[in-house]
């Protein structure tokens, strides 16, 4: 004990580290890991462990009750012959392709509006961010569904302008759109990031262009967009990955069968249904790994294309 | 000093993590009262009744404490699957006929034969329900209530449309024409009924009326593709002619039923649902017989509407058996629960229950067709729950016009066979 105390004092007084101190540091390392242990245990037991288990299970037939049985690549092969799996891929792909651009465009538009200085700015920002705070809540999805049933708010408003679709919750042509709108409504997170990006755009560029006679739209397209392209890319990546994992709202609206008529059978819903209703954990695990693979490939693809359109200031390519 | 102190802090932190993990086990010691976990499905109305019955059980058995928990049907089975797989199944669980074989075959249930005559008396069960919980010579569940298929309808709607009220001997053609007349009489404001092809048991009833079964004794599908095509075709015509509740309505009101919202004038279903409908609507409702094209054969049986099982992993099978015994035999328990879960499964409880209103209607209905009720079929094969879900989903797509009758039939057979083979 006695040897330790002076070292600590030495350290505190800023003396250069000697050999003795280094020995002390290795002790610090152990303590550091011990302090980290709740987190390390969490990662090992709650993330890496289950992931490896699910990787193993994906090569087995496992019904939750009896021991898993090795079947090799069967689960993966079967997916491509499974009509519902293909359907769920289709639904999810359409959703991602529509929901992500819609949400990003809405978030950017709102961010541009909120970037202007005006009275009550804080209030507006909070108001637009609000819906994102509720997140993937069950009650929100229930309310959303109620808004889109026969003779509810949306149906009535549409009829005023002469559009008669009935309740979207029961109409296979519109059910997915209803979830796209729900996603777009929760635009808070990308909006805040866009707003931060917009603040970084140098004012002098705008002023110079303005002097040269460039209009608002041209300035937005030629200056703002390129300048915030890294932020656009970041948001695109994040929202794409999130969109692949939609679950709660879709489950509340469409249930395990993806009602109406399978139009909301998201990949995650089908995965859950196979695993927990049909007791096919092996198949469900294989599906999860396919999803990971798919999202990984798309992320990689986005990174590749990013070289062509994302501009980092200070980049001298 | 400092290191020592830090080290203990870390140890304390680490031990907290482990303590958290260790808490999951069964902490109950041998001495003192035994705690049973009991899971069931239902809604808040039923929860109040079940709690009342449990309170009574605890008064009568001061050494047993019961902690109940409940979900809606679908969520219940999803939770039960994970709990059972994780070795965390409750001691006593409510069982459905469609899942009985699934759980029994996989060794998840305790064989109650070992408790029969000691803590559990099954002698007083109604004739039609005896043996309903048996799978391959083991007793894996005990029916607590029974129900049968019926037709709940509003006599006023029939009167308005000028259609005679259904009585024994009416046929499926009569049924369809009644639907049409009622829908026309209201101008489509109230439909004659729901589309009966959306419900798997309507197919079973039709099959049984023809002397066939939904599942054969060896657990295969009891019908072929042309038979299913005929069934789907009937419903498709009803849907196309818009004389039954449109599927998009049905989808939007879930989890409520059309009869609860006065959207239809009547529907085929389990007779104990009469009590649920009656609680939700002010419209006067009656229970009538199921249509049949075969006057000698209604195709009906007394189905165990709910059973109770004991988990194979339970540490307290004796006490669990006692709880089941209480639920099926105790007259007071019968009085508390009434016909909420179906008509009580034992003679003693049936005698003890003073049924009123819709409950009395259910009992009178069952009495009226007593002679026509057949013995329940053997417990459905493994995967029956999944197959029913396939059926509901495919029928929905058909009603939406997204797939043809032939496609629907092919899809159902592909999925059902895949489920049965696995």
The complex's ipTM works out to 0.80
Among B69, B130, B116, B39, which residue's Cα sits nearest to residue B314?
Answer: B39
* Contact residues, chain A to chain B, C-beta under 8 Å: 1, 4-5, 8, 27, 31, 34-35, 37-38, 41, 61, 63-66, 83, 149-150, 166-167, 169-172, 255-257, 259-262, 276-281
Same-domain check for residues B196 and B312: no
What is residue B31's predicted lDDT score, i.e. its pLDDT?
52
What is the nearest CA distance from A261 to chain B, expressed in angstroms?
A: 5
Shortest CA distance from A27: residue in chain B: B3
Same-domain check for residues B51 and B121: yes
pLDDT in tens, chain A (317 residues): 344 444 444 444 445 544 555 555 566 788 888 999 999 999 999 999 999 999 999 999 998 878 899 999 999 999 999 999 999 999 999 999 999 999 999 999 999 999 888 888 889 888 888 888 876 688 889 999 999 999 899 999 999 999 888 899 999 999 999 999 999 998 999 999 999 999 999 999 999 999 999 998 999 999 999 999 999 999 999 999 999 999 999 999 888 889 899 999 999 999 999 998 888 999 999 999 999 999 999 999 999 999 889 988 665 54
Same-domain check for residues A214 and A132: yes
Contacts for B400-405 with beta carbons within 8 Å, 24 or more apart? B400/A172, B400/A260, B400/A261, B400/B247, B400/B248, B401/B239, B401/B240, B402/A172, B402/A261, B402/A262, B405/B229, B405/B232, B405/B233, B405/B236
**Taking chain B (422 residues) in consecutive chunks of 10 residues, what is each chunk's mean pLDDT?**
46 43 41 87 87 95 94 86 88 93 90 94 90 91 93 96 94 96 94 96 96 92 97 96 94 88 95 88 94 91 93 94 96 88 89 85 89 86 90 95 96 94 80
Same-domain check for residues B281 and B140: no
Digit-coded pLDDT (tens) for B204-243: 999 999 999 999 988 999 999 999 999 999 999 999 999 9
How many domains is chain B built from? 2
Shortest CA distance from B78: residue in chain A: A276
Same-domain check for residues A267 and A202: yes
CB-based contact A34 B10, cutoff 8 Å: yes
Q: Is residue A263 part of a domain?
A: yes
Q: Tell me which chain B residues have a C-beta less than 8 angstroms from the C-beta of A262.
A: 393, 397, 402
Digit-coded pLDDT (tens) for B330-363: 999 999 988 778 889 999 998 888 888 888 898 8
How do strand B343-344 and strand B134-135 relate by DSSP bridges?
A: unpaired
What is the nearest CA distance from B365 to chain A, expressed in angstroms?
A: 34
What is residue B422's predicted lDDT score, i.e. its pLDDT?
74
Q: Is residue B101 part of a domain?
A: yes
Same-domain check for residues A157 and A43: no
Q: Is residue B1 part of a domain?
A: no
Give the domain extent around B103. Answer: 37-145+304-367
What count of CB pairs under 8 Å joins A to B?
105
Question: Any chain A CB within 8 A of the CB of B370?
Answer: no
Give the domain extent around A47. Answer: 19-57
Same-domain check for residues B169 and B204: yes
Q: Which of A38, A172, A261 is facing B17, going by the closest CB pair?
A: A38
Q: Over the range B365-404, which residues count as b (16 or more CB within 10 Å of their CB) and which as e?
A: bbeebeebbeebbbbbbbbbbbbbbbbebbbbbbbbebbe
Q: Is residue B31 part of a domain?
A: no
- B299 in the Ramachandran plot: left (φ > 0), alpha (ψ -120 to 50) or beta? left
What is the nearest CA distance from A303 to chain B, expressed in angstroms?
A: 38
CATH code where residue B173 lies: 3.40.190.10
How many domains is chain A built from? 2
Question: Any chain A CB within 8 A of the CB of B239?
Answer: no
């Amino acid at each position: 004990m006695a040897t330790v105390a002076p070292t600590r004092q030495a350290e505190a007084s800023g003396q250069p580290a000697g050999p003795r101190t280094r020995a002390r540091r290795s002790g610090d390392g152990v303590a550091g890991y011990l302090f980290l242990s709740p987190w390390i245990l969490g990662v090992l037991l709650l993330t890496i462990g289950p992931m490896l288990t699910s990787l193993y299970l994906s090569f087995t037939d496992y019904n939750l009750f009896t021991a898993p049985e090795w079947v090799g690549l069967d689960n993966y092969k079967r997916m491509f012959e499974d009509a519902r799996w293909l359907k769920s891929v289709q639904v999810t792909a359409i959703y991602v392709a529509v929901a992500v651009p819609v949400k990003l465009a809405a978030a950017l538009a709102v961010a541009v509006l909120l970037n202007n200085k005006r009275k009550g700015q804080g209030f507006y920002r909070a108001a637009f961010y609000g819906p994102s705070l509720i997140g993937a809540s069950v009650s929100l999805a229930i309310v959303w569904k109620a808004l889109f049933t026969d003779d509810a708010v949306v149906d009535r408003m549409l009829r005023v302008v002469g559009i008669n679709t009935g309740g979207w919750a029961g109409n296979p042509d519109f059910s997915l759109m209803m979830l796209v709108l729900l996603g777009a409504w929760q635009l808070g997170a990308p909006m805040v990031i866009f707003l931060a990006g917009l603040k970084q755009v140098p004012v002098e560029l705008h002023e110079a262009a303005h002097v040269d006679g460039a209009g608002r739209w041209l300035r937005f397209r030629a200056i703002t967009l390129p300048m915030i392209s890294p932020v656009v890319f970041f948001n695109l990546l994040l929202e794409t990955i999130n969109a692949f994992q939609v679950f709660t709202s879709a489950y509340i609206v469409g249930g395990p069968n993806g009602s109406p008529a399978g139009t909301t059978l998201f990949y995650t819903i089908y995965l859950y249904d196979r695993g927990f209703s049909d007791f096919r954990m092996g198949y469900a695990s294989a599906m999860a790994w396919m999803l990971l693979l798919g999202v990984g490939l798309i992320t990689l693809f986005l990174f590749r294309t990013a070289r062509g359109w994302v501009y980092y200031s200070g980049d001298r390519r | 000093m400092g290191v020592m102190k830090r080290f203990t802090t870390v140890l304390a932190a680490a031990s907290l993590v482990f303590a958290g993990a260790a808490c999951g086990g069964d902490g109950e010691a041998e001495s003192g009262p035994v705690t049973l976990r009991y899971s069931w499905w239902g809604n808040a109305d039923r929860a109040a009744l079940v709690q009342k019955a449990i309170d009574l059980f605890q008064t009568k058995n001061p050494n047993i404490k019961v902690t109940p928990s409940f979900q809606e049907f679908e969520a219940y089975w999803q939770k039960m699957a994970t709990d059972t797989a994780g070795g965390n199944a409750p001691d006593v669980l409510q069982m459905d006929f469609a899942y009985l074989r699934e759980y029994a075959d996989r060794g998840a249930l305790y064989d109650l034969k070992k408790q029969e005559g000691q803590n559990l008396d099954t002698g007083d069960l109604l004739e039609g329900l005896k043996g309903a919980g048996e799978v391959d010579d083991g007793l894996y569940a005990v029916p607590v209530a029974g129900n049968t298929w019926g037709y709940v309808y509003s006599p006023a709607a029939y009167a308005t449309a000028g259609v005679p009220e259904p009585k024994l001997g009416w046929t499926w053609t009569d049924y369809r024409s009644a639907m049409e007349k009622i829908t026309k009489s209201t101008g489509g404001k109230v439909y004659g009924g729901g589309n009966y092809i959306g419900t798997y048991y309507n197919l079973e009833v039709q099959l049984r009326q023809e002397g066939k079964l939904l599942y054969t004794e060896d657990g295969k599908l009891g019908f072929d593709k042309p038979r299913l095509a005929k069934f789907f075709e009937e419903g498709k015509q009803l849907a196309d002619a818009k004389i039954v509740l449109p599927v998009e309505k049905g989808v939007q009101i879930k989890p409520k039923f059309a009869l609860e919202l006065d959207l239809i004038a009547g529907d085929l279903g389990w007779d104990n649902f009469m009590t649920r409908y009656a609680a939700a609507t002010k419209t006067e409702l009656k229970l009538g017989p199921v249509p049949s094209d075969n006057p000698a054969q209604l195709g009906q049986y007394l189905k165990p509407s709910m059973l109770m099982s004991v988990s194979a992993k339970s540490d307290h099978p004796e006490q669990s058996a006692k709880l089941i015994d209480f639920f099926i035999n105790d007259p007071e328990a019968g009085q508390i629960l009434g016909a909420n879960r179906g008509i009580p499964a034992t003679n003693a409880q049936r005698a003890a229950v003073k049924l009123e209103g819709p409950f009395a209607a259910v009992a009178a209905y069952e009495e009226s067709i007593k002679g026509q009720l057949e013995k329940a079929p053997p417990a459905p094969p493994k995967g029956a729950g999944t197959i029913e879900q396939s059926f509901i989903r495919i029928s929905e797509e058909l009603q939406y016009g997204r797939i043809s009758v032939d496609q629907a039939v092919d899809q159902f057979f592909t999925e059902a066979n895949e489920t049965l083979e696995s």
